[in-house]
Amino acid sequence: MNTITLYNGVTVPQLGLGTWQMKPADAKEAVLTALRLGYRHIDTAAVYQNEEAVGEAIRESGIPRREIFLTTKLPAEQKGYDIAKRCLTESLARLGVDYVDLYLIHAPWPWGNPEKDCSEGNAACWRAMQEDYKAGKARAIGVSNFKPKDFLPLAAAPIRPMVDQFSLFPGRPQQETVDFCKAQDIRIEAYSPLATGAVFRCAELKEMAADYRVSVAQLSIRYCLQKGAIVIPKSIHPQRLRENMDTDFEIRAADMEKLDHVKVL
């Protein structure tokens, strides 16, 4: 399994399992299956309401905790120092772990209100998260859904984010954010690499996948991997979990460029 190294030296398995929209029972089963297949990286969030199930699966797998990279997220609506501290404590309790490997601000704004200016709230969350990082409650800290302008309130902080997790898939290359992160030594993490299922309806992707003799899922995941992103596709089906790991092929540069411009959504 390829790894990506964060600027603080922590290594992240480049492919992980996403768990959004997994009910607890499905999340437990999917995480157990994924770990059995060789996944060592699981992405959850307080708002997914499956942290307990993810924690149970990790324990039941018998795999040592230190061998699994576990991410969870501070709910997007929770903006403030005290609440950020409380949220991580509660997530750790639900997961049944002493630390997470990555803790992210889920979004710079509350869901449904992307125009709201939460600069002060995000700076306060970040103060709490830096302390939790130094205390060993998170091995790395970062953000999600942040565009370059959203980083401004964190710019004076002693510790800058290590990761930005945002949507990245064929047709959504997010070049401005990718370039910003690269310049700041922030690793990029691709969520919804299959556009939450929309990639399967795109004729151009079906055609290119057939040329490479791979599936549309494999082509889309490979696109994100070749962008240098950490990638976290979600599936509850064992055969798809296996398929999504099997991306040992190379997309030609000209096709990568085509994939930047396909119409998926």
Ligand X SMILES: NC(=O)c1ccc[n+]([C@@H]2O[C@H](COP(=O)([O-])OP(=O)(O)OC[C@H]3O[C@@H](n4cnc5c(N)ncnc54)[C@H](OP(=O)(O)O)[C@@H]3O)[C@@H](O)[C@H]2O)c1
Rule CB under 6 A: is residue 226 a binding residue for ligand X? no
| DSSP code for 186 | P
Active site residue 191: no
Q: Of all residues in this chain, which one has the CB nearest to ligand X in the complex?
A: 18
> In the complex, what is the shortest distance from the CB of residue 186 to ligand X, in angstroms, rounded to a whole number?
15
Does 122 bind ligand X (CB under 6 A)? Our answer is no
Q: Are 7 and 221 in contact (CB under 8 A)?
A: no
Strand order across the 187-191 sheet: 17-18, 41-43, 69-74, 102-105, 141-144, 163-167, 187-191, 230-231
* Residues in binding contact with ligand X, number by CB under 6 A: 28
Does 193 interact with ligand X (rule: CB under 6 A)? yes
Using an 8 Å Cβ cutoff, are 6 and 163 in contact? yes
Q: Which of 48, 103, 133, 223 is catalytic?
A: 48
One-letter amino acid for residue 211 of the chain:
D
Helix (H, G, I), strand (E, B), or coil: what is residue 133? helix
Q: What is the DSSP letter of 100?
A: B
- The values of phi and psi at residue 4, to 5°, are -115, 135
Among 165, 174, 177, 247, binds ligand X (CB under 6 A): 165
The burial of 123, by beta-carbon neighbours within 10 Å (0-12 exposed, 13-18 middle, 19 or more buried), is given as middle
Residue 191 sits in the site that holds ligand X (CB under 6 A): yes
In the bound state with ligand X, the residue whose beta carbon lies nearer, of 51 and 62, is 51
Q: Is 236 one of the binding residues for ligand X (CB under 6 A)?
A: yes
By CB under 6 A, is residue 201 in contact with ligand X?
no
Q: Interface with ligand X includes 97 (CB under 6 A)?
A: no
How far apart are CB 42 and ligand X at their closest, in Å? 9
| Chosen residue from 23, 134, 237, 252 binding ligand X by CB under 6 A | 237
The nearest distance, CB 192 to ligand X, in angstroms, is 4
Give the helix/strand (H/E) hosting 179. Answer: helix 175-184
Catalytic residues: 48
Residues that bind ligand X (CB under 6 A): 18-21, 43, 106, 144-145, 165, 191-197, 200, 215, 217, 232-237, 240, 243-244
